[in-house]
Structure 1
Amino acid sequence: MQAQGRRIGMAAGLLGVVLAGALAWGLGARQGEPRAAAAAPGVPVTLVRVVREDLAQNLAGVGTVTSLHSVLLRPQVEGQLTALLVEEGQLVERGQLLATIDDRAIAAALEQAEATRQSNQAQLRIVEQDLQRYRTLIERGSISRQILEQQEAQAAQLRATLRANQATIDAERVRLSYTRITSPVSGRVGIRNVDVGNLLRTNEDSSLFSVTQIAPISVVFALPQESLPRLQPLLGGDTPVSAYSRDGGQLLGEGRLRSIDNQVASSTGTIRVRAVFDNPEGKLWPGQFVAVDLRTGVLRGGLLLDSRAVRRGLEGAFVYRVVDGKAEVAPVRVLQEVDGRSLVEGLEAGEAVVLDGHSRLAPGARVEVLGEAPALALRRSRP
């Protein structure tokens, strides 16, 4: 009996220990729940405001600077190059003397042609005097008409010879003018390919040098064929075009739209466009690649938003806005993107949307606002 009582007492003690542990664990769990809930932070985000501004409507492309006049100077007569009167890179005016070719042989041929004409003129005077006497004699019946007709034919032959002499003289004068090479355009002299003393030949492919017009100058660039409806009404107007360095950072010049090509390139689906720039400082250089902005108009009062705030999903573009401390999805329609900003529909001016912190966001998630970023400014000034 005594042993049985000891076993019952030990079982009762063990049961009490178990119940006390379970009670303590339950109390601890109930006290820990509010601490865990209080310790769960919201998703940290940064907000940005939607702003209403006027936005320039642009068409952007990459173009090549092209001279409006570029001339390769080649000899038109054979001879020795006797002088180069300009330096490489020098600015020259139209009509300015650039180089000379030995002209002695051509000058001698011209003098000979003039002497031949003078001799034929003297012969013609003698024939015309005889012709006048023959006409007097034929009236008196002293000579036959055959003699008169022969004299008239000889006079006509000499007149034709004089015209041929004059044509030869004119041709030699033209050849003589080719020995003085003048600039056909105002521009800059390129690197020369020959030196003084070389014998120039007309059948050689190489040129002496080139003269390229620098100011004004043009830029030819390609735009998608879908741009045609916006381009065509701008022809004949004063549409501004800006040219930037290839990386889009430095403004190189402001010009005007000149023309569009007469057909679309079937291989690329693009159309070529030409803009003309005054280029007084020579920042645009022939053959240079540039980024081009063509301004087609101004959209008044557009809603602009930092493009980093716009997300894209299966149902289209959207943004997260914060309502009562929670993230809410707001669908938007992106009309245009310019310099890191998006022109959108579906929001109101002044609304704050999430700019940074999207990776952990989901609809209905609690957020913690860390601050508000300033609206992103356009990197380039627009009219």
Structure 2
Amino acid sequence: MRFSGNSKTSPRCDMAPLILLAMLLLAGCDRNPNGQAPRPTPEVSTVTIAPQKVLLSTELSGRTSAFRIAEIRPRVNGLIEKRLFAEGSNVKAGQILYQIDIAPFEAAFNNATAALAEAQAKLPATRSRAERYKNLLRHSALSQQDYDDAASSLNQLLANINSLQASVETARINLGYTKVTAPISGRIGKSSVTDGAIVTAYQATALAAIQQLDPIYVDVPQSTAEMLRIKTRLKQGLVDPEGKDHNKVSLIQEDGTPYPLEGTLQFSDVSVDPTTGSVIVRLVFPNPDGEILPGMFVKAIIKEGVNNQAILLSQQGVSRDSKGNPFALIVNAENKVERRDLILDRAIGNDWLVTSGLAPGDRVIVEGLQMLRPGTQVKATPFTETKTGRNQTADSGVQTSGRHEGGR
């Protein structure tokens, strides 16, 4: 067996163990005592809470109803000669709607007039005889009985004339009732009778109905709890009335489009419905073009007043725990995450109106909420709203609502 003449080890081979040892030492320095690599500081986006002036309003659903409704009924018996209106058209007060056969009523009027004229023709002679008998009685030229008979005949004739005058007036009124007129202006519906129908005075079935649509009523139910909350806010000075426009209300139609004209709050009912715990609030809206019809489902926006120190928080900054209670995560002065339980009043656009839980100057986390826990050190940057950021926040499970919270 032969050996090489150079028995020294190669320098490259001597350095390999040293390099391996240095790499192991560096790797050990990069790990924490638990053997895990340190996590980077989470980055979050925040909004700083600042009070602002907000007009508070309540959205209530209800239905419309006609301002006035008049059911048309005949006042005399007779035969309908002619219907004088178009169904579904607008009619004016005093317009003739139906013509009842006039002939029998003209005859009755003429008969009453003739009877009155006959009685009035007898009056001068009867009165003259009574006065003459009275003079004769003074001179004892006539018995008392004869004078009493003459005076009684005069009084009887006068009473008969009064009765006949009343009969003439009744016949005249009935003659006028043959023209069935509209008591109010408005839109008339379908007719329940046709030409040639026999009708009776004040019958149960209406001939037609007229509805006045301008203005028009909107009746909306409001819970007594919400009504009391509004009164409490006003008493505590949390809400200031809106001045002369405080009673102005807006309307949203069935298709979701806003009604262009404003209405007014007329009154709130004085009795509470025991089944629903609500009262009816009646609103009045102008309806010159007849766009709103009775029975339509609408939403009314009633102004409550102005909150001059309202705290609004974007809905994407509100989370809910397993019980559904709302809370927000804020960044405190030490740049650590802190939980704040919230009391929400209502949704205003894309924001929540916060009643309790936040104060001016708080930095609320609105992005980067995933996997955050109270006490976590974070790096906070101001939030810049972008469509992408909003969509990502919505996907993270933040709940939104358009209704009143009324508490936590």
TM-score normalized by the length of structure 1: 0.78
Residues 46-78 of structure 1 show CA distances to partners (whole Å, capped at 9, x for unaligned) of: 655545432222233222212221111111212
In structure 1, what is the Cα distance between the partners aligned to 2:285 and 2:291? 10
1:12 alignment partner in structure 2: none
In structure 2, what is the Cα distance between the partners aligned to 1:361 and 1:260? 48
Distance 1:128 1:272, change over 3 A: same
Aligned-pair CA distance for 1:214: 0.9
In structure 1, what is the Cα distance between the partners aligned to 2:180 and 2:360? 67
Which of the numbers 329, 347, 364 marks the counterpart of 1:353?
364
> Is the CA contact 1:192–1:208 (under 8 Å) kept in the aligned structure 2?
yes
Aligned-pair CA distance for 1:346: 4.0
Which of the numbers 278, 281, 285 marks the counterpart of 1:273?
281
1:373 alignment partner in structure 2: 385
Aligned-pair CA distance for 1:311: 2.5
> Is the CA contact 1:255–1:278 (under 8 Å) kept in the aligned structure 2?
yes
Aligned-pair CA distance for 1:167: 1.3
Aligned-pair CA distance for 1:41: 7.0
For CA contacts below 8 A with separation 6 or more, give which structure has more relative contact order: 1
Distance 1:358 1:155, change over 3 A: farther
> Is the CA contact 1:244–1:252 (under 8 Å) kept in the aligned structure 2?
no
2:9 alignment partner in structure 1: none
In structure 1, what is the Cα distance between the partners aligned to 2:28 and 2:291? 76
> Is the CA contact 1:48–1:374 (under 8 Å) kept in the aligned structure 2?
no
Q: How does 1:173-212 map to 2 (within 5 A)?
A: 173-202=172-201, 204-212=203-211
Secondary structure of the corresponding residue to residue 221 of structure 1: strand
Which of the numbers 320, 323, 327 marks the counterpart of 1:318?
327
For structure 1, which runs of at least 5 residues remain unmatched after alignment? Answer: 1-22
Which of the numbers 231, 254, 259 marks the counterpart of 1:251?
259
Aligned-pair CA distance for 1:317: 3.4
1:284 alignment partner in structure 2: 292
Aligned-pair CA distance for 1:86: 2.2
1:78 partnered with 2:77:
yes
In structure 2, what is the Cα distance between the partners aligned to 1:363 and 1:273? 46
Distance 1:219 1:252, change over 3 A: farther
> Is the CA contact 2:336–2:375 (under 8 Å) kept in the aligned structure 1?
yes
Distance 1:252 1:270, change over 3 A: farther
Residues 286-312 of structure 1 show CA distances to partners (whole Å, capped at 9, x for unaligned) of: 121211222121111312112332234
Distance 1:316 1:134, change over 3 A: same
In structure 1, what is the Cα distance between the partners aligned to 2:22 and 2:172? 123
In structure 1, what is the Cα distance between the partners aligned to 2:201 and 2:369? 72
Residues 122-161 of structure 1 show CA distances to partners (whole Å, capped at 9, x for unaligned) of: 1222211211221232233222110110111111111111
Aligned-pair CA distance for 1:215: 1.0
1:149 alignment partner in structure 2: 148
> Is the CA contact 2:338–2:374 (under 8 Å) kept in the aligned structure 1?
yes
> Is the CA contact 2:76–2:202 (under 8 Å) kept in the aligned structure 1?
no
Secondary structure of the corresponding residue to residue 125 of structure 1: helix
> Is the CA contact 1:253–1:283 (under 8 Å) kept in the aligned structure 2?
no
Query: What do you get for the CA RMSD once the two structures are aligned?
Result: 3.7
In structure 1, what is the Cα distance between the partners aligned to 2:190 and 2:366? 55
Q: 264-273 or 148-157: which moved more?
A: 264-273
In structure 2, what is the Cα distance between the partners aligned to 1:350 and 1:84? 74
2:117 alignment partner in structure 1: 118
Letter in 2 for 1:197: G
Distance 1:270 1:248, change over 3 A: farther
Q: 364-373 or 208-217: which moved more?
A: 364-373
In structure 2, what is the Cα distance between the partners aligned to 1:171 and 1:231? 57
In structure 2, what is the Cα distance between the partners aligned to 1:95 and 1:263? 37
Q: How does 1:1-383 map to 2 (within 5 A)?
A: 30=28, 37=37, 47-48=46-47, 50-202=49-201, 204-226=203-225, 227-228=227-228, 230=230, 239-246=247-254, 249-251=257-259, 253-313=261-321, 317-322=326-331, 327-344=337-354, 345-348=356-359, 352-355=363-366, 358=369, 360-365=371-376, 372-373=384-385
In structure 2, what is the Cα distance between the partners aligned to 1:229 and 1:350? 28
In structure 2, what is the Cα distance between the partners aligned to 1:217 and 1:228? 27
Distance 1:64 1:134, change over 3 A: same
Secondary structure of the corresponding residue to residue 267 of structure 1: coil
Distance 1:309 1:28, change over 3 A: same
In structure 1, what is the Cα distance between the partners aligned to 2:367 and 2:104? 83
Secondary structure of the corresponding residue to residue 286 of structure 1: coil
Residues 3-26 of structure 1 show CA distances to partners (whole Å, capped at 9, x for unaligned) of: xxxxxxxxxxxxxxxxxxxx9997
TM-score normalized by the length of structure 2: 0.74
Q: How many residues align?
A: 354
Identity %: 28
> Is the CA contact 1:190–1:209 (under 8 Å) kept in the aligned structure 2?
yes
Aligned-pair CA distance for 1:256: 1.1
> Is the CA contact 1:47–1:373 (under 8 Å) kept in the aligned structure 2?
no
Residues 257-288 of structure 1 show CA distances to partners (whole Å, capped at 9, x for unaligned) of: 11121222222221112111122233322121
Letter in 1 for 2:92: E
Secondary structure of the corresponding residue to residue 330 of structure 2: strand
Secondary structure of the corresponding residue to residue 58 of structure 1: strand
Letter in 2 for 1:306: S
